[in-house]
Amino acid sequence: MRVGYRDVCLEHDTGPRHPESPDRLRAIKRALASRHNVEYVAPEATDRGSALAVHTNGYINELERFCEDGGGNWDADTVAVEETWDAAFAAAGLAEWAAEAALDGADGRETPFALGRPPGHHAVADDAMGFCFLNNAAVAAQSMLDAGAADRVAIFDWDVHHGNGTQDIFYDREDVFYASVHEDGLYPGTGEIPETGEGDAEGTTLNVPFPAGCGDAEYVAAVEEVIGPAIVEFDPDLLIVSAGFDAHEHDPISRMVVTTDGYGLLTDVLRSTVAEADAAMAFVLEGGYSLETLSEGVAQVHEVFDGLEPHAHDWEISESGRSVIEEVKAQGFPSREPFDHDEPDPGTDEE
């Protein structure tokens, strides 16, 4: 993969006990160091105009003053220092680079992954929250639309937390499709199934809020049966994956049980989705707070593009997970019938 990264993102210092620490990026870089075909790119930070395309002027001014004054606790979870301003604009610039590179034809082993922090998907138009200051995926999507590089953009968020900021920013927009699979009831408490868009944008938001304890089988089924078909129907030029790795079975702040191989399976299904939609694809880092499983997850995404065929551990979908998927289908989104992963592949000879 082509990995966007800048050292300035390490300077956003959240303190020794905060889960969203600079060590997250260091761990990912260590995990990628032994992998083949990893190319690092250091693009420019986003500019104020791109940030203002998705955030209010009042908020950006307030954030600038807050950082200039040395930062502190923006809220109970969201911490800033003076350097946070530059790190946030760098992270958004990395997301813009990934989107632009994808639309310029970077795919396969050159598929772009924006490795930045602070993350972005909780940042709403006029406020920071949930460790996030600028909504990186939203900045990237809007920049591509404003530049005329894309007419329609889809964003799929597999972070364990619902991306309330991304949803809010595009909730009444017909040119951006937002889909999320997340743990029901977890912070920030948004992302219910009936939240499907507003006005003429009805049907451009799709939420799959799974109960705690769901894993590979449920996540892959959600993408294969509902999210993938809905993305294909939307016909985007670009799919941005808001890639958080905190639904992992060993992440400390969630109760989901996605495996490292599960992230590879999701990546593989998304490759098929964008091929069917004839769309470009870029990845933008969101959460993930076990250094080991975060770094393994990002490395797994890379290795799928480097030829790895991920292994499926268990295809038994829980009754509660199946119930959620069927309820989402009932909202009227395009969907497919469940695929039986225990059946041999079509055309396979098996005695």
Residues catalogued as catalytic:
122
Q: Are the CB atoms for 153 and 102 separated by under 8 Å?
A: no
Q: Are the CB atoms for 176 and 141 separated by under 8 Å?
A: yes
Distance (Å, whole) CA 119 – CA 133: 8
Distance (Å, whole) CA 39 – CA 283: 15
Q: What is the CA radius of gyration of the chain?
A: 19
Closest CA to 14 of 63, 89, 83, 113: 83
Give 31's contacts (C-beta < 8 A, 6+ positions apart).
Answer: 295, 296, 298, 299
Q: If DSSP codes are grouped into helix, strand and coil, which group holds residue 242?
A: strand
Residue 149: exposed, middle, or buried by beta-carbon count in 10 A (0-12, 13-18, 19+)?
middle
Closest CA to 327 of 235, 195, 217: 195
- Rounded to a whole number of angstroms, the distance between the first and last alpha carbons of the chain is 39
Distance (Å, whole) CA 294 – CA 27: 8
Q: Are the CB atoms for 176 and 84 separated by under 8 Å?
A: no
Return the structure tokens found at 124: 């709403």
Distance (Å, whole) CA 120 – CA 136: 5
Neighbours of 27 (CB within 10 A): 20
